[in-house]
Structure 1
Amino acid sequence: MIPRGKLIVVVITAASVSEQAGAKQALSKLNQIRLGVARRRHRMGRLIRIWVDGGYRGQDFTHWVMDVYRWLWSVITRSEEQKGFVVLPKQWLVERTFGWFNWSRRLSKDYEILPETTEAFIYVAMIRLMLKQLA
């Protein structure tokens, strides 16, 4: 989950897990964080709309997200007339963030055995980037 290129939640799954099943894990983790922040009376921006790529399309899944979490789920796809590479709205935020991860040596290749280790290194890389932007 990337607002303005800053990560909130990372979930690493096996390649055999579908995108929608992985999204359910990520949304559940995001909701737990959101509820935990609300209990501590800290202010966290209100999540309203989530932009996703074509792998998450489907009316059933979109309605499930709206029913369970009350978030708007917008699937961004390119039009059928367009051929080749096309920059889609909001997709560049995600691609730019993935590009930032390549600056971290541990994330430039998949060195880790456990998915939890990869998640931890992604959080470390994001903390480093945010500290660099604050300085």
Structure 2
Amino acid sequence: MQWLVIEPLLPVVHRRLGGRPRVHDRRLVVDTILYVLVSGCAWRMVPRDLVPWSVAYRWFREWTLDGSWRRVHDTLRDRVRAVDGRDPQPSAAVLDSQSVRSCEGGEAIGYDAGKRVRG
């Protein structure tokens, strides 16, 4: 079912005159890309029963640069959220306190002679 959602979002590839015919099925290319993204393995460590890593990476890069992969991600996210009964579009983001700058200054800084450090 996932392929039925993804397939129309990917651009149609037209064969160039004099070019070689496509060897790998687009569905298997997408399966390979999803394998790498979900498992976190390196591209070069893709199992042999999937398409070669160089083919999968080439299509992933092309679809990322032209915005196709973003459309696939957004569509799948919206569907998952709808199935869970949530609003398809996220309304807020979670920020880590480490990434938020404080607007207040610190207290007066002193010198700790025992540790030989300021603060």
Q: Considering the TM-score relative to the shorter chain, is it more than 0.5?
A: no
Higher relative contact order, structure no. (Cα contacts within 8 Å, ≥ 6 residues apart): 1
TM-score (normalizing by structure 2): 0.30
TM-score, structure 1 normalization? 0.28
